[in-house]
Amino acid sequence: LHSDCLRTKMSSVSTTFMIVGKDDTPLYEVDLGGGTSSRDQGAHLRQFVLHAALDVVDETVWKTSSLFLKTVDRYQNMYISALVSPGNVRLLLLHEQRTDEGTVKQFFQDVHELYLKVLLNPFYQLNSPITSVSFDARVKGLARRLRS
């Protein structure tokens, strides 16, 4: 019964993107749509699945020299892709398999570039949550390519 409840919640999962700092501190999280409801009850489950994937990301990063780790984990019909920056900041994307890896890689590269611009802001405190409205709007704009 419990797994049926989880399956029901995850069947309407929308794409979720998260940036996690080097100390496992969440820096940014956004629901990028694609599910039946952007504020469904599965929000906490999506966070849990992404945080659980951090261990897999940490193991995978030692097995490759690439920053883009592709699909690192899977939960039911959802996949977690990751990119790890040279500063050990993890970019995670919870998405459906039908998303092309090349498109996901480009999304990560574009968001990473936006993140670097945030780091260059003298008013941004390192490893603090990103609250910039402009950053949020640009990430959501880049995410439209994932859904097309």
CA distance linking residue 49 with residue 123, whole number of Å:
32
Helix or strand run (H / E) with residue 19: strand 16-20
Q: What are the φ/ψ torsions at residue 103 (nearest 5 degrees)?
A: -70, -40
Residue 84 has pLDDT above 60, yes or no: yes
Parallel, antiparallel, or unpaired: how do β-strands 68-75 and 16-20 relate?
unpaired
CA distance linking residue 136 with residue 148, whole number of Å:
19
- Across the range 5-22, mean pLDDT stands at 66
- Across the range 94-121, mean pLDDT stands at 90
- Predicted confidence at residue 22, as pLDDT, reads 87
Token reading at 7: 């399956």
- Predicted confidence at residue 11, as pLDDT, reads 42
Token reading at 125: 């405190």
| Tens-place pLDDT, residues 22-70 | 889 999 999 987 654 445 557 778 888 898 899 999 999 999 989 999 8
- Predicted confidence at residue 39, as pLDDT, reads 52
